[in-house]
Structure 1
């Protein structure tokens, strides 16, 4: 199935930030949307806005806390039943709480680990059960440029979860290659895109606004790459350097 045929797209964490921005971009392209997040009031507003602006798009919303793993499977199956097929699932829900390890913030670090990685496993499992049954689909995981190296302070566990997601996506792809499956996977590594998760972060180099970032994310996802840095410039170059430079120098890049 070519990407132009990916009609129905499920996005988790769709009530704010990158999820909300990507929903707007896909609606503008006439896609049907299965949107889920914890905050249904925000989803209701988004659904109303998108249906008024893009009547060709069917928008369905459901409450979902991705840390309720049983609910992940249930909600994905309900969306599949409603739309008939799910053509693309974007594993986007995430959080960025945390602090240096050993400073009394274990509760925040473990919450980030559970939401960004363990819950992502649940989402990938639920998506792939549906895709395997259909023998088609595009699984997209939203990782981060921080996945490439260990990061200090509030980023330590966050970066580790994003590295885990990058590795998980590649492992899934290895599995699909072995079984000659038609299912596609893409792992997207955004650079600094201004969204609610990082709105308090100051003086970040190469930060772009949410709308621009989401336009570029959707453009990248539509190409169905195995892996992509968004925006490509300067992050492809920075990514190349990050993987090779000593850690002391990498810390100066961010």
Structure 2
């Protein structure tokens, strides 16, 4: 039983690249109108033009810095002013950082937390009353990093663990409402993610394509009783459940080794930051 989104409106964040673009194509092919949100207006406009021509749908482009506090309320006001009601929300925007936490730039880490957690929560809370008026979907992009500590990507893994648990809780709360709630957990995927991270040490295992990940998401969405969580790719699924058979200590050590065995340097071995 395929989820019916024809004639409804789907808001997709991080829609200028990677999974966001692929989700846009899939929903457009099913007849959904779209609201595309990301910072890069030129990419959004190019994608919107392509989708309008190919599928004859309405596409609204809203360039925005999704890491800015209050962006959810701003987007909702803008769409209300245009008489657009969103009935499905794809919280795809997010980014990761790699390295010893002590060496990370605090401003960038704070932005990572804002985008991956706070903005996702704000958008979900702001649009949820509209989502509950129809039979649409709330899809939050988590990660296989959700299932264990991730030394070397401590903030990213923790943020995605939040997304996973938050989404599964909403799945339980939404039972019987008609709203499908799903956490999608990709492993390494060929997108711009690793360009932003700045290292492919975070790419553990074989990379999937955005098409494969979105295929997995739609197979789950099309089920009569969609699960709260889906992991994309059999090896990634095996990896995700293997954490159940290891202690937290062992899981952190194994994950850390796979992510490049990042270590903090002692104060004596750290470069001086004093002025010359």
The TM-score, its normalising length taken from structure 1, stands at 0.85
* Residue of structure 1 equivalent to 2:60: 60
Checking the alignment, whether the CA contact within 8 Å between 2:87 and 2:136 is kept in structure 1 is yes
Checking the alignment, whether the CA contact within 8 Å between 1:140 and 1:186 is kept in structure 2 is yes
* Residue of structure 2 equivalent to 1:172: 170
Checking the alignment, whether the CA contact within 8 Å between 1:188 and 1:230 is kept in structure 2 is yes
Checking the alignment, whether the CA contact within 8 Å between 1:14 and 1:35 is kept in structure 2 is yes
Measured at CA, do residues 126 and 219 of structure 1 come closer, stay the same or move farther in structure 2, by a change above 3 Å? Answer: same
The whole-number CA distance in structure 2 between the counterparts of 1:187 and 1:47 is: 26
Q: CA deviation at 1:191?
A: 1.4
Q: CA deviation at 1:30?
A: 2.5
Checking the alignment, whether the CA contact within 8 Å between 1:98 and 1:108 is kept in structure 2 is no
* Residue of structure 1 equivalent to 2:200: 201
Checking the alignment, whether the CA contact within 8 Å between 1:34 and 1:79 is kept in structure 2 is no
The whole-number CA distance in structure 1 between the counterparts of 2:83 and 2:236 is: 36
Q: CA deviation at 1:64?
A: 2.1
Q: CA deviation at 1:90?
A: 0.6
Q: CA deviation at 1:156?
A: 1.0
Does structure 1 residue 99 correspond to structure 2 residue 99? yes
The whole-number CA distance in structure 1 between the counterparts of 2:114 and 2:71 is: 15
Q: Secondary structure at the match of 1:30?
A: coil
**Superposition RMSD in Å:** 2.6
Q: CA deviation at 1:143?
A: 0.4
Identify the range of structure 1 (156-165 vs 204-213) with the bigger mean alpha-carbon deviation. 204-213
Matches within 5 A, 1:158-169: 158-169=156-167
* Residue of structure 1 equivalent to 2:43: 42
Q: Count how many residue pairs are aligned between Structure 1 and Structure 2.
A: 248
Identify the range of structure 1 (105-114 vs 214-223) with the bigger mean alpha-carbon deviation. 214-223
The whole-number CA distance in structure 2 between the counterparts of 1:162 and 1:207 is: 18
* Residue of structure 2 equivalent to 1:228: 230
Higher share in helix: 1
Q: Secondary structure at the match of 1:3?
A: coil
Partner of residue 188 from structure 1, selected from 180, 184, 189? 184
Checking the alignment, whether the CA contact within 8 Å between 1:21 and 1:210 is kept in structure 2 is yes
Q: CA deviation at 1:116?
A: 0.5
Q: CA deviation at 1:14?
A: 0.5
Structure 1 unaligned residues grouped into runs of 5+: none
Identify the range of structure 1 (28-37 vs 215-224) with the bigger mean alpha-carbon deviation. 215-224
* Residue of structure 2 equivalent to 1:123: 123
The TM-score, its normalising length taken from structure 2, stands at 0.79
Measured at CA, do residues 244 and 14 of structure 1 come closer, stay the same or move farther in structure 2, by a change above 3 Å? Answer: same
